[in-house]
Structure 1
């Protein structure tokens, strides 16, 4: 039985929401097709396709094999073999939740093929646990956004994870620069973060997080702009992000609410009112040109959760 599942890219953190806020966006997606048959627990990739196929391993070093094994182990399934095809449509090592989306897609596909009928939270949890393969530690923001869809906040970020969807009417723009990725980027970008902070900075960070959530929900531009301006994670990572300060300056001058690092970067996510989208995109294009960097800049609409798109 073959099942094909699509999972969209995601942008995590949104400034002050490190590891607990993420949004699924329709700009890019991965698709995974699985076929399950009687066997002894062997898992193999039999094809990798799509615009970013050459950016990921086509063997057991691919996170989708690790994620598939994670699911089989969780449910003590050892009497089947799994063949996997991956269509890789999300740019890799760009801060767009590429590994999370692939993991979620293969887990949901296997859930359907094996008639497990897992709910989206279980799929998100298994996907986040699989992130340890590339990041060194599990994290659940990207996998939850890709599994559930929309703007999500983790209300419990350790298993069993729990999340809630938030509604927002803001518009989003993704800027994906064409730069050489840092080797082991996700792991590296977590290692540069401070191991501890003082109480005063913690209080300031909590105020920013509250402003971020309030601004997104109630469309308060001022509160949202404060929340997008993180005081802990972004300062530690900004020096690794091409054109970081210029992107933020140009987007705000064009009327955007703010720009933040998407996940671990180097992509940037810009939040704006719908009426300013065209002008903000033009401004972002100028910013990257002035930095001498090519970039793909697209308006990104909120995407649904992982879902079946075909099977035989």
Structure 2
């Protein structure tokens, strides 16, 4: 009678005993991973999840500064804060200013950044690093230092901009105190300060496009405009999408420019949604400011969705 050699090993046999150390090693690796992740998880929960949850709670209550000692004793008022925000003329003006700022500053920033990136990619090989640093320097410069420089540039009497305009017979406006010119002044500042970030990203994207495609387009008789439209733009879509989303998110939250330069004036011409949220929080109306912040979040989500729909790579 032949003995079977394919029978399963008995419990406690060599194969079973060999699995136990492997299972223990996997558990130890899992514990070690959680140990490394625990500090970040705790910090993320304390400084991100809990504040977001608290702000969401405040958005549906009538919490004010006097309620901080008993935050759970406030009244739940539903959507009243959201209704009060969208019907507030001051918030409506701030929303209009924000739309104006984003609608003008974002295309200017991306257009100038793409133009500069294309110029640096086509030539100036020896000075490319110098130009990248020069254009990127305002991005990392303190807004206070930038504000001092731009206040001097925009002075109505002795500022460099009005002095240059005077040389050609143009009487420059009072940039920061005229409601007509205050927002364009902040747009110029924002574009100058942020164009370097998109330029560096777009330059990296341009350098990643294979040169063979440009040579093939040239052999097919395509001109510069056709090559840019048919080769550069389609391959640059992921990079353009990234720059557009990041710029749109930053510009919808623009706060530093009016805070440092104009304090939202003159006559509310430079008041933004983020600056209005800051003001309402400073006034102690925490519920209303939280509701405004979530309205801003919805606007950011809608703009990002539209950008993904328009600029996503085409298969």
Which TM-score tier does this pair reach, normalised by the shorter chain? under 0.3
Please report the TM-score for the alignment, with normalisation by the length of structure 1. 0.24
Q: Which has the higher helix share?
A: 2
* Max Rg structure: 2
Please report the TM-score for the alignment, with normalisation by the length of structure 2. 0.24
